[in-house]
Structure 1
Amino acid sequence: MQVLKFGGSSVAHSDAIKRICSLLEKKPKGRYAIVVSALGNITDQLIQCGEFASERKNIYKSILEKIEIRHLNIIRELFPITYQSHLISWIKKNINDLESLCDGIFQVEELSKRSLDKIMSFGELSSSFLIAEKLKQSGLDAICKDSRDLIITDSQFGCAQVDFITSNHHIIQFFREKTSEYIVLPGFIGSTLEKETTTLGRGGSDYTAAILASAISASLLEIWTDVSGMMTANPKIVNQAFPIKEISYEEAMELSHFGAKVIYPPTIHPAMKKHIPIQIKNTFSPIDPGTLIYINKNTNISQPVTGISGIQNMALLTLEGSGMVGIPGYSKRLFEALSREKINVIFITQSSSEHSITTGIHETDIIKAKTVIDSEFSQEIHQRHLDPLRIEKDLCIIAVVGDNMKNLHGTSGKMFSALGRNSVNVRAIAQGSTEKNISAVIRKTDFKKALNTLHESFFESPPKQINLFICGVGKVGSKLMEQIDQQQNYLLKVLKLQVRVIGLANSKKMYFNDHGINLNDWKENISQKGIRMNIYSFMEKVWKFNLRNSLFVDNTASEEMAMTYDKFLKNGIGVITCNKIACSSDYDHYKKLKTLSRHFKAPFLFETNVGASLPVISTLNDLINSGDKINKIEAVLSGSLNFIFNHFLGKKSFLEVVQEAQLKGYTEPDPRIDLSGLDVMRKILILARECGSPLELSDIHQKSFLPETCSSSSSIEDFYQKLHRYKDYFFKIRSEAEKDKKRLRFIARYENGGASVGLESVKQIHPFFQLEGKDNMVLYNTYRYAEQPLIIKGAGAGAEVTASGVFSDIIKATK
């Protein structure tokens, strides 16, 4: 014999009930006990009726009317007219009884648990009656049996405890006497020996089915619901969650205890006791295999974790004090006090020094728990043997569950490493001696991120999801968006990376989409749907999303933006930037950012600060990390200045060449930054600092080639006017270099702890002489490269190459 249970969603309407009947008709010939829940949401409506009646609110009458109409409509949709009369009479009689009960509650203004159990029983009694009648009307050998005649409980109304000895006797006797093929029973309800209606707790229909299955030693218990089995995680929170094919009783109990709602936790005990397999199936997709819960689960030794679950809205209670050390009985008194108030303890951990005990409870129980614990330990607290009870709220618990965790080393390390990389702070940890469960208490705001992070770590083969928040969508930012769009298939197939742009901002507007911004129409979205840009509002949105593997990308030249990096790093969000201001600000700030990056395990990459996409900084780091010593750095670090001096030929004026460089996007938006040498000073400063030198920008010796009046220009227009005024001055500089067959190069040097920048004339034999266009060149003279320097050469300016450098840093950060 088999037991089948159908939940509220499976009996929500007439089509769902027809689906159940069709499913049962296709079952092999045999005997079936069918346990059903109330129609979807009916139980909640019945509870409302009782509550409104106790508050003397007449609205309960209209709710009862809606409940009646819904049942009558189902009768009319399921049965021919000739079959409806007695069904309608049955429903109306029960609704009348229900209304009389609510009227009494209305008069006395009190809703007892006993009365509420009686009210709630209507849902299951009605659905089981209608389904049994539909099976009979379809020609099947079916009857309906009231579970209250079989399942006997104590008088703990609201969540009654089953008397298994008496109940098993009644169940066995009934199924021996009744030979019907289909026996439909209401779930969730039982009765006392005095025939008072009781309920088994929310989710009790599963429990009813398990009690019946255990009593009759059923061959299989099927739980039919609206999902295709137990999932590796909550699919509403983790999109990549998938059904678990096989799971042990113990694993299923752990997952259901920690929030997996597919099966009611007490259901598993009766089935496990008799080794009855439990099959969880989807009523709306019956061909799906679902999840099989049984004792001999096929084990995959390489997969230690079976599922991840969690409980939100939790609080930690910590009892601590030196008076606890070495004194027995504190734990006993604490848990007895909580038990007296029927407060469920979800989580327990105790320090090895016996100095403290920490327990986790639901937030709704905080006031009761504090009251009873303060009372129990009032004397010890007064005598200062114990500290006052410490309460921490806004927490949740996540649990990684699996039978195989005990067989594989490193599971807990992998768990906490993954959480740490995403800045999920763990407040408390507990692991049972069976090693089937590792639980961690974290902030409630990190719940979604933690579940997704752990699911990605333990279950998901690549791709790895990367979430980008990008500020600056001008020339560099626009090219970056194009490159990400063009490379999406390659990233997915080859690098196994799913790169999503979640937030975008320019100087005026910002736009967000938590599912990822469409890279084909992002300009229209930021223009039409964007909201006013404010960097602090932008950051708040990023914190609120709280997504795993998040990166902040700064394509601006904004000082305000550069000064926010520390806030991103402290939140575990990596920073990718082509903005040189942060790394060339005061040395203490630079060191702070590097320290935060290490401390919070958040990447801080700025390769494009020097040489656009050229591997200047990464090569320098590789040399130093491998033990080489930097003796000297010589570099042409301004692609714009190199372009200018390479094109300052013939009849072209210096002003014309500068304007051409700006038009092509080779200079900063304000070309004065390039021509003043400030941009190059920042770059050589960054290289010096990467070498370990604590230089400040003011320490760099600068030999400016600009007349002083040009350097002090009040605006770009004023600057251009002065360049035109000094055209003869610039022609003279060029002529003197050409006379000696030299070329003009703006060179940066770092040597013996000092740095300098300035315009120089180089001979034909110098490597810088042959530099063309906007190219950069860096010469590393090191202990290993003493005779011939290590040379890095290539395009050092332009939106396309700078964007590619930023893109490269994004990919590096994912590793």
Structure 2
Amino acid sequence: MNIIKFGGTSVANAQNISLCINIVKQKKQTAPVVVVVSALGGVTDLLLAAAISASEKSEEYKPVLEKVEARHLEVIKTLVPATGQSSVLSHAKRELNRLETLLDGCFLLGELSERTKDLILSFGEVLSSYIISEVLKAQGEDASLADSRDLIKTNSRFGKAVVNFEVTNALIAEYFSTNKHDITVMPGFIAQAGDGHTTTLGRGGSDYTAAIVAAALDVESLEIWTDVNGIYTANPKIVKQAEPIPYITFEEAMELSHFGAKVLYPPTIQPILNKDITLHIKNTFEPDAHGSTINKVPEVKSGNPIRGISNVDDVTLITLEGPGMVGVAGFSKRLFEVISKENINVIFITQASSEHSICLGIVEAEAKKAQAAIDAEFDFEIKQLKIYPAIIENGLSIIAVVGENMKNHQGLSGRMFSTLGKNNINIRAIAQGASERNISAVIDKKDVKKALNTLHETFFEDATIQLNLFVMGVGNVGEKFLDQIKSQYSYLKDNLRINVRIVGLSNSRKMYFDEEGIDLEGFKPLLETGEATSTNGFISKIKELNLRNSIFVDNTASDTVAATYAEYLKNSIAVVTCNKVACSSEYANYKHLKNLSRQYNAPFLFETNVGAGLPIIDTLKNLIASGDRVHKIQAVLSGSLNFIFNNFGENTPFVNVVKQAMTEGYTEPDPKIDLSGIDVKRKLVILIRESGYEMEIDDIDTISFLPDECLATTNNDNFLQSLVNNAAHFDALYKRAHLNGDRLKFVASFENGKANVGLQFIPLTHPFYNLEGKDNIVLFYTDRYADQPLIIKGAGAGAAVTASGIFADVIRIGNK
């Protein structure tokens, strides 16, 4: 005999029911079929809402009832031929009239007992099973309807009745020994107490109904048809990369279903477990997909010890603690007894080895009731200060990593907690059973999405790491950076196992976000549709999305943006920047940012602050980390100034070269920052600090080559005009260098705790003499490079090379 069950989404409407009927007809070819059905999708929730509204004296239950009626009548009129509709419609309307009478009674009495609630909720399955059986008959099938209340007997614990299996198994066996129909339709979820009142088996109880029937008839397998391709490695609505688990053990399935895997109702497994009945989870909308097969020993074993990751939301932690608990027997017994008396289910338990506290996880809706009961039970001890009043923590979730073979693999818990820690996910409590089949942790509900995705990435995704980038500044450098990511996307994924996704973009006017990733082919029109830019708004949105491996990329030169870095780092959001303002600001702020980076495990990378794409800072970090000490630095750190002085000559006015450097993106948006030496001072102070010395930017002497008129300007137009006005001054500098065979270079120097920047006349024999174009050069004199310095040389300006340096920092984070 084939036992199959269809969930609410599978029978949500006429179209879906037709798909179910096709599956039933196919199954009928091999053996008689028992079809257990849920209520039409969403109807149980509607019935509950109507019952609550009626009991609260609100007439809102009436339109809800009308909606319930309309949905059922629509299915009948669509699937039952017109010639046979009359009797089916009449029967359905009689049931709906009974339902209306019950709701009217709740309204008049202003109350809703658990017994009445069960009866009201039963109408969903009663109606769906009747309609489906009549549709089958109308299509010429040998079908019958069996009322589950006649076959499944329970106690009177309304809402979640306990099955009397001895009586139930006998009734089911007797019924099907004489039932010779090809197809038998049964309502799921509902049963009957010994006194004849309707009971329910708990939400999701239709799965349980099917399992009860399967176990009573001792069949080989049970099929549960739903709207997904089986049990997934994680919730596919939260983790897009989640995959169906083709083979899984009963124990693993029970763990996953207990911790929130919605495909399967936890008690389902109990009746079929001892009889080793194979359970198949199938997709009504993809009937040919394999789905998930559940049995004692999987047909195909996986090499991955982790089978799945699941979660339970809306959890409350209740902690009972106090010095009077240590070494005193009986506290745990009393605690669990009082919880049991209140009919509260405990889903998580942990106790400190010191016996000073016991922590329980329960459903948040029952928190106040539990707190009051516990405080009442331990009132005497609380007054004696032996125990403190129960501590309640709401807004939590439980995440669980599940796998049958976890006990045979070392280091899994370490990987789990390390992964969570790297993403600033705080763990409030931990539990692991002796079987080592699952490791559970309680975290803030807001962190669930990030936790599930990071853990799934760690345990299931072939070591691929997803980086979620939020980019501020899409001008010259920013646009080049996005182009490089777009062109290298496949390479990064295939070769470095790094999946880069741009989630947020911002320019000076607009900011735009897409959690699924922004299409870089057409990001400009999308950005224009975004909301007004604000630094606080940008931060708030990143925190709200709370994505794993989040990286803030600053392509601006803004003081305001640089002032926000601390907020990002405090939230474990990495910062990658070409903006030199933060690292050249007060030394205390520089150290604060570095300390936050370490404290919150959030990388703070600024390679492009010095030398654009050249690996200057990274090389310096490695020197210091390996124990070397820097004594002296000599450098040409401004690619823009080097470009300007390399192209300035007798026949090329100074102002024209500056304009060319601005046009080609070699200078800052304000070129005076470069020509005044401020930019070079910023770079030098960063190198000095990264070398391990404390220095403020004002401690660096500046030997300016600009006349006072140029320094006094307040905008670019006036600055450029001042260069024209002082052309003779610049020509004189060139002639002096030319007559002596020297070249003009703007040099940064540090030695013996003293630093300066300024224009120098470089002779032919100096290493800086042949520095061409926009190149930078840095000479590090250290303990190991005392006589011959370590030299780093290359292009030090330009949007493309700066963007490549930012890109390299992003890759460094991905490779950590």
The reply to whether TM is greater than 0.5 is yes
Partners in 2 of 1:782 and 1:48 — Cα distance?
Answer: 75
Are the counterparts in 1 of residues 703 and 757 from structure 2 also a CA contact under 8 Å?
yes
Task: Give 2:602's aligned amino acid.
Answer: A
Task: Give 1:135's aligned amino acid.
Answer: L
Partners in 2 of 1:640 and 1:470 — Cα distance?
Answer: 25
Please, which moves more after superposition, 86-95 or 31-40? 86-95
Task: Give 2:686's aligned amino acid.
Answer: I
Provide Cα deviations, 1:594-624, integer angstroms capped at 9, x if missing partner.
Answer: 1221222211111110111111111122222
Partners in 2 of 1:279 and 1:266 — Cα distance?
Answer: 16
Partners in 2 of 1:413 and 1:371 — Cα distance?
Answer: 37
Kindly tell me: are residues 196 and 812 of structure 1, through their superposed partners in 2, closer, same or farther at Cα, counting changes over 3 Å?
same
Equivalent residue number for residue 548 of structure 2: 548
Equivalent residue number for residue 159 of structure 1: 160
Instruction: Give the CA deviation at 1:732.
Output: 2.5
Relative to the length of structure 1, the TM-score reads: 0.96
Look up the SS of the partner of 1:278 in the other structure.
Answer: strand
Partners in 2 of 1:483 and 1:119 — Cα distance?
Answer: 61
Partners in 1 of 2:394 and 2:741 — Cα distance?
Answer: 76
Structure 1, unaligned stretches of length 5 or more?
Answer: none
Equivalent residue number for residue 781 of structure 1: 781
Are the counterparts in 2 of residues 243 and 291 from structure 1 also a CA contact under 8 Å?
yes
Instruction: Give the CA deviation at 1:784.
Output: 3.1
Provide Cα deviations, 1:300-347, integer angstroms capped at 9, x if missing partner.
Answer: 463111111111122212222211111111122222222221222221
Equivalent residue number for residue 812 of structure 1: 812
Partners in 2 of 1:745 and 1:103 — Cα distance?
Answer: 92
Are the counterparts in 1 of residues 247 and 301 from structure 2 also a CA contact under 8 Å?
no
Equivalent residue number for residue 261 of structure 2: 260
Instruction: Give the CA deviation at 1:463.
Output: 4.4
Equivalent residue number for residue 90 of structure 1: 91
Kindly tell me: are residues 49 and 501 of structure 1, through their superposed partners in 2, closer, same or farther at Cα, counting changes over 3 Å?
closer
Are the counterparts in 1 of residues 189 and 206 from structure 2 also a CA contact under 8 Å?
yes
Are the counterparts in 1 of residues 81 and 138 from structure 2 also a CA contact under 8 Å?
no
Kindly tell me: are residues 713 and 138 of structure 1, through their superposed partners in 2, closer, same or farther at Cα, counting changes over 3 Å?
closer
Partners in 2 of 1:761 and 1:19 — Cα distance?
Answer: 85
Task: Give 1:632's aligned amino acid.
Answer: K
**Aligned positions of 1:235-384 closer than 5 A:** 235-298=236-299, 300=301, 302-384=303-385
Please, which moves more after superposition, 124-133 or 183-192? 124-133
Task: Give 1:417's aligned amino acid.
Answer: S
Provide Cα deviations, 1:135-162, integer angstroms capped at 9, x if missing partner.
Answer: 3344443322111111111111121111
Equivalent residue number for residue 617 of structure 2: 617
Provide Cα deviations, 1:39-64, integer angstroms capped at 9, x if missing partner.
Answer: 22222333344334434445545544
Kindly tell me: are residues 700 and 64 of structure 1, through their superposed partners in 2, closer, same or farther at Cα, counting changes over 3 Å?
closer
Partners in 1 of 2:486 and 2:30 — Cα distance?
Answer: 58
Instruction: Give the CA deviation at 1:254.
Output: 1.0
Task: Give 2:370's aligned amino acid.
Answer: A
Equivalent residue number for residue 205 of structure 2: 204
Provide Cα deviations, 1:702-729, integer angstroms capped at 9, x if missing partner.
Answer: 3223334543444444444443343333
Equivalent residue number for residue 673 of structure 1: 673
Kindly tell me: are residues 19 and 504 of structure 1, through their superposed partners in 2, closer, same or farther at Cα, counting changes over 3 Å?
closer
Please, which moves more after superposition, 168-177 or 274-283? 168-177
Equivalent residue number for residue 574 of structure 2: 574
Partners in 2 of 1:59 and 1:605 — Cα distance?
Answer: 58
Q: Say if 2:358 is the partner of 1:387.
A: no
**Aligned positions of 1:585-600 closer than 5 A:** 585-600=585-600
Kindly tell me: are residues 724 and 47 of structure 1, through their superposed partners in 2, closer, same or farther at Cα, counting changes over 3 Å?
closer
Look up the SS of the partner of 1:260 in the other structure.
Answer: coil
Look up the SS of the partner of 1:521 in the other structure.
Answer: helix
Look up the SS of the partner of 1:11 in the other structure.
Answer: coil
Partners in 2 of 1:677 and 1:69 — Cα distance?
Answer: 77
Equivalent residue number for residue 696 of structure 1: 696
Are the counterparts in 1 of residues 191 and 200 from structure 2 also a CA contact under 8 Å?
yes
Task: Give 2:551's aligned amino acid.
Answer: L
Are the counterparts in 2 of residues 466 and 814 from structure 1 also a CA contact under 8 Å?
yes
Please, which moves more after superposition, 721-730 or 633-642? 721-730
Please, which moves more after superposition, 779-788 or 204-213? 779-788
**Aligned positions of 1:718-737 closer than 5 A:** 718-737=718-737
Partners in 2 of 1:20 and 1:531 — Cα distance?
Answer: 46
Please, which moves more after superposition, 719-728 or 398-407? 719-728
Equivalent residue number for residue 121 of structure 2: 120
Kindly tell me: are residues 632 and 5 of structure 1, through their superposed partners in 2, closer, same or farther at Cα, counting changes over 3 Å?
same
Equivalent residue number for residue 473 of structure 1: 474
Partners in 2 of 1:202 and 1:355 — Cα distance?
Answer: 36
Partners in 2 of 1:664 and 1:18 — Cα distance?
Answer: 66
Are the counterparts in 2 of residues 779 and 789 from structure 1 also a CA contact under 8 Å?
yes
Provide Cα deviations, 1:662-721, integer angstroms capped at 9, x if missing partner.
Answer: 232222122222122111111111111111111111222332233345434444444444
Provide Cα deviations, 1:188-230, integer angstroms capped at 9, x if missing partner.
Answer: 1111222211111111111111111111211111111111111
Please, which moves more after superposition, 718-727 or 327-336? 718-727
Instruction: Give the CA deviation at 1:4.
Output: 1.1
Equivalent residue number for residue 499 of structure 1: 500
Instruction: Give the CA deviation at 1:731.
Output: 2.5
Q: Say if 2:510 is the partner of 1:509.
A: yes
Look up the SS of the partner of 1:689 in the other structure.
Answer: helix
In the alignment of these two chains, the number of paired residues is 814
Instruction: Give the CA deviation at 1:96.
Output: 3.1
Are the counterparts in 2 of residues 301 and 404 from structure 1 also a CA contact under 8 Å?
no
Kindly tell me: are residues 72 and 773 of structure 1, through their superposed partners in 2, closer, same or farther at Cα, counting changes over 3 Å?
closer
Partners in 1 of 2:165 and 2:338 — Cα distance?
Answer: 28
Kindly tell me: are residues 100 and 711 of structure 1, through their superposed partners in 2, closer, same or farther at Cα, counting changes over 3 Å?
closer
Q: Say if 2:398 is the partner of 1:402.
A: no
Look up the SS of the partner of 1:632 in the other structure.
Answer: strand
Please, which moves more after superposition, 103-112 or 285-294? 103-112
Equivalent residue number for residue 798 of structure 1: 798
Partners in 2 of 1:581 and 1:672 — Cα distance?
Answer: 15
Look up the SS of the partner of 2:199 in the other structure.
Answer: strand
Partners in 2 of 1:409 and 1:15 — Cα distance?
Answer: 50
Look up the SS of the partner of 1:694 in the other structure.
Answer: coil
Equivalent residue number for residue 450 of structure 2: 449
Task: Give 1:333's aligned amino acid.
Answer: R
Partners in 2 of 1:81 and 1:640 — Cα distance?
Answer: 84
Instruction: Give the CA deviation at 1:72.
Output: 3.4
Equivalent residue number for residue 771 of structure 2: 771
Instruction: Give the CA deviation at 1:544.
Output: 0.7
Equivalent residue number for residue 40 of structure 1: 41
Are the counterparts in 2 of residues 346 and 359 from structure 1 also a CA contact under 8 Å?
yes
Equivalent residue number for residue 73 of structure 1: 74
Equivalent residue number for residue 637 of structure 2: 637
Task: Give 1:409's aligned amino acid.
Answer: Q
Kindly tell me: are residues 63 and 482 of structure 1, through their superposed partners in 2, closer, same or farther at Cα, counting changes over 3 Å?
closer
Task: Give 2:544's aligned amino acid.
Answer: K
Equivalent residue number for residue 187 of structure 2: 186
Task: Give 1:281's aligned amino acid.
Answer: K
Kindly tell me: are residues 134 and 772 of structure 1, through their superposed partners in 2, closer, same or farther at Cα, counting changes over 3 Å?
same
Instruction: Give the CA deviation at 1:650.
Output: 1.2
Please, which moves more after superposition, 408-417 or 652-661? 652-661
Partners in 1 of 2:719 and 2:14 — Cα distance?
Answer: 80
Partners in 2 of 1:14 and 1:657 — Cα distance?
Answer: 75
Instruction: Give the CA deviation at 1:533.
Output: 1.5
Please, which moves more after superposition, 715-724 or 654-663? 715-724
Please, which moves more after superposition, 84-93 or 636-645? 84-93
Partners in 2 of 1:271 and 1:168 — Cα distance?
Answer: 13
Instruction: Give the CA deviation at 1:573.
Output: 0.9
Partners in 2 of 1:348 and 1:59 — Cα distance?
Answer: 41
Partners in 1 of 2:70 and 2:396 — Cα distance?
Answer: 43
Instruction: Give the CA deviation at 1:742.
Output: 1.2
Partners in 1 of 2:699 and 2:808 — Cα distance?
Answer: 32
Partners in 1 of 2:63 and 2:545 — Cα distance?
Answer: 41
Relative to the length of structure 2, the TM-score reads: 0.96
Task: Give 1:531's aligned amino acid.
Answer: E
Partners in 2 of 1:22 and 1:278 — Cα distance?
Answer: 21
Provide Cα deviations, 1:391-438, integer angstroms capped at 9, x if missing partner.
Answer: 222211111111111111111111111111111111111111111111
Kindly tell me: are residues 758 and 38 of structure 1, through their superposed partners in 2, closer, same or farther at Cα, counting changes over 3 Å?
same
Kindly tell me: are residues 550 and 484 of structure 1, through their superposed partners in 2, closer, same or farther at Cα, counting changes over 3 Å?
same
Instruction: Give the CA deviation at 1:31.
Output: 2.8
